[in-house]
Amino acid sequence: MKGLHRLEYRGYDSAGICLVNPELTIYKCKGKVSELEHFVKGQDVSGTVGMAHTRWATHGEPNQINAHPHISQNKSLAIIHNGIIENYASLRSELMNRGYKFVSETDTEVLIHLVEDIQINEDIELEEAVRIALNQVIGAYAIVILSKDNPNKIIAARKGSPLVIGIGKGEFFVASDATPIIEYTNNVVFMDDEEIATIERDKPLKIKTIKNKKKTPYIQKLELSLSAIEKGGFDHFMLKEIYEQPRSVKDSMRGRLNADMGIVHLGGIREYEQKLLNAKRIIITACGTSWHAALVGEYLIEELARIPVEVEYSSEFRYRNPVLYEDDVVIAISQSGETADTLAAIELAKSKAATVLGICNVVGSSIARATHAGVYTHAGPEIGVASTKSFTSQVMILTLMALQIAQEKGTIARSRFHQILTELNTIPKKIERILLLNDQIQEIARIYKDVTNSLYLGRGYNFPVALEGALKMKEISYVHAEGYPAAEMKHGPIALIDDQMPVVVIATKKGSYEKVISNIQEVKARKGKIIAIITEGDVTVKKLADHSIEIPETEEMLVPLLATIPLQLLSYHIAVMRNCNVDQPRNLAKSVTVE
């Protein structure tokens, strides 16, 4: 149960547990892990081999029947699964023709009937039956299978969806990520795609591929502390993670930036530095918040390093046969390192011989391993489903990358380079100052907590900030929010503005400051309410705005590192006041391992 709670951020539609004691005993129900906990109270939950699952529904609504584990027809096998079996419909009708009855609408149930069918017909070991079954499967999976006839054995396999095995003293743990494991052991094996693990009581871990090739398990020591994945006195993980940002951006810079000596160096991409310097084009691919960081990266790299940059949604890029050359560098950004679309975009880029670099937060994740090289953000575990500290850390890494290339290419003057480096060092302290505005932001939230629509506007570097602010608002508070380049407003969204509409404008000094003031006037002329993020001491916008939040002055290109923070807090407080589940918003999951 504790393990399930730790993994709950990945999906929370329904939950279930299976124990070998000595039959396969299964309890499952709709809703969160706490519902399951309630459900099993007073039941016999003893056993030393078991598995549990918390689901994010793909096939079939999140109800008790569709909850995992699923059981084979002869009730001797049970499975939990993360991923999607794409050819489930054809496998299902084949199995139905052979007399199998399906009780759920899931793709997962197909797998367990298939394994049973193979095992019965061929009289082979469980792991061999699983191997044969997986050779017939198209799609993505991380699975665990238990068998009542093999009570001391667990079979686990992965393709496309992550799976980690923890090796303790006389005990094993299998999970989608390391968070439920680190409490018990730091020794882990990250499984690779198309690998099957056989875990047996009192025996060493065995791994082979679905092509039947033996592999030697590679045991890694994880550096992850328990406190990093707990709330530490905060009401929500999201709030804790917002407050961690002075530390997390510092950790992203640590060992990579020395302002006094004028050095920026990202060790992870050392081998590919020449590729970056010679790149005719950089393509950054990502989803969601990471895509917003990519947009900031586009502005930074083009301004500083003078290399053309394109930013692509991974889900579009992977399916539209993009033009890619060998001298293109593709940068994939992902907090979780598991986003299915981003992984597929990476594979596509690699198949066209492009160099692919990663910017990931989760160490050992699939994307970190699929890319040629990369940089970890070192933001620390992010448990709240809404990305906060990951965004600022990703932007920090992109800033360092742009500066490093610019310095090597000679596209930046030495004095300017020093100026930006010195300013970067001040960012953590400036974030601390913004966090002191929490009470003021909470008051603004109170005024607008009941709105149904909102607009976020920004220009230049603040345009991606507007998009990110709007995403935070809609995903955790369910208030419709649109982010727009401020000047585009008059091409459509201005029609939405009336005296009920809050318009959040990022109107910091520098850049298109004057132009943004004109955009504010346009909103005011239509009676819209202005919440402005302004530079400390700015009286001009303060006079125009209904509310203003003052953030410390910085370089224009570094403003996203600061201006995003009050927007995170604003959406957080509105969500809390609307009684929304901040850390686990409806319909969402932290790692989107399905396309």
Binding site for ligand F6R (CB under 6 A): 287-290, 334-336, 339, 342, 386-387, 471, 475, 592
Least distance from C-beta 293 to ligand F6R, angstroms?
Answer: 9
- Return d(Cα 290, Cα 461) in angstroms, integer: 15
Of 17 and 178, which CB lies nearer to ligand F6R in the complex structure? Answer: 178
Least distance from C-beta 333 to ligand F6R, angstroms?
Answer: 7
Of 72 and 387, which CB lies nearer to ligand F6R in the complex structure? Answer: 387
- Return d(Cα 146, Cα 216) in angstroms, integer: 23
Mode of pairing for the β-strands spanning 309-313 and 281-286: parallel
Least distance from C-beta 530 to ligand F6R, angstroms?
Answer: 25
| 141 touches 87 (CB < 8 A) | no
Least distance from C-beta 385 to ligand F6R, angstroms?
Answer: 6
- Return d(Cα 263, Cα 265) in angstroms, integer: 6
- Return d(Cα 533, Cα 547) in angstroms, integer: 9
Least distance from C-beta 585 to ligand F6R, angstroms?
Answer: 9
Report residue 173: phi and psi, to 5°. -135, 140
**Which residue's entry shows tokens 């505005």?**
437
Least distance from C-beta 545 to ligand F6R, angstroms?
Answer: 26
- Return d(Cα 406, Cα 51) in angstroms, integer: 51
- Residue 296's nearest CA partner among 506, 504, 453, 491 is 506
| Secondary structure letter of residue 162 according to DSSP | -
Of 290 and 554, which CB lies nearer to ligand F6R in the complex structure? Answer: 290
Report residue 413: phi and psi, to 5°. -70, 145
Of 299 and 391, which CB lies nearer to ligand F6R in the complex structure? Answer: 391
- Return d(Cα 579, Cα 39) in angstroms, integer: 25
- Return d(Cα 486, Cα 572) in angstroms, integer: 24
DSSP for 100-126, written as a single string: ----SS-SHHHHHHHHHHHHHHH---H
Please list, in sequence order, all residues whose beta carbon lies within 8 angstroms of the beta carbon of residue 567, skipping any fewer than 6 positions away. Answer: 456, 465, 468, 469, 472, 473, 504, 533
Across-strand partners of 16? 28, 53
Least distance from C-beta 390 to ligand F6R, angstroms?
Answer: 6
Of 342 and 399, which CB lies nearer to ligand F6R in the complex structure? Answer: 342
Least distance from C-beta 576 to ligand F6R, angstroms?
Answer: 16
Mode of pairing for the β-strands spanning 220-221 and 195-200: unpaired
Least distance from C-beta 490 to ligand F6R, angstroms?
Answer: 28
Of 117 and 468, which CB lies nearer to ligand F6R in the complex structure? Answer: 468
Residue 280: C-alpha distances to residues 79, 309, 375, 402 (Å): 48, 9, 21, 15
Least distance from C-beta 367 to ligand F6R, angstroms?
Answer: 7
Report residue 414: phi and psi, to 5°. -55, -45
Of 120 and 588, which CB lies nearer to ligand F6R in the complex structure? Answer: 588
Least distance from C-beta 236 to ligand F6R, angstroms?
Answer: 14
Least distance from C-beta 287 to ligand F6R, angstroms?
Answer: 4
Least distance from C-beta 229 to ligand F6R, angstroms?
Answer: 16
Of 207 and 330, which CB lies nearer to ligand F6R in the complex structure? Answer: 330
Of 82 and 290, which CB lies nearer to ligand F6R in the complex structure? Answer: 290
Of 179 and 335, which CB lies nearer to ligand F6R in the complex structure? Answer: 335
- Return d(Cα 61, Cα 14) in angstroms, integer: 10
Least distance from C-beta 186 to ligand F6R, angstroms?
Answer: 23
Residue type, 47: G
Of 161 and 387, which CB lies nearer to ligand F6R in the complex structure? Answer: 387
Residue 272: C-alpha distances to residues 299, 348, 404 (Å): 21, 19, 12
Burial 231-270 (b: 16+ CB within 10 A, else e): eeeeebbbbbbbbbbbebbbbbbeebbebeeeebebebbe
- Return d(Cα 416, Cα 427) in angstroms, integer: 17
Q: Which residue is nearest to ligand F6R (CB)?
A: 288
- Return d(Cα 463, Cα 456) in angstroms, integer: 9
HEC string of 163-230?
A: CEEEECCCCEEEECCCCCCCCCCCEEEECCCCEEEEEECCCCCEEEECCCCEECCCCEECCCCHHHHC
Of 14 and 289, which CB lies nearer to ligand F6R in the complex structure? Answer: 289
Of 109 and 298, which CB lies nearer to ligand F6R in the complex structure? Answer: 298
- Return d(Cα 142, Cα 351) in angstroms, integer: 24
Of 56 and 88, which CB lies nearer to ligand F6R in the complex structure? Answer: 56
What token pair was written down for 36?
Answer: 């399951």
Of 288 and 511, which CB lies nearer to ligand F6R in the complex structure? Answer: 288
Burial 436-446 (b: 16+ CB within 10 A, else e): ebbeebbebbe
Least distance from C-beta 462 to ligand F6R, angstroms?
Answer: 18
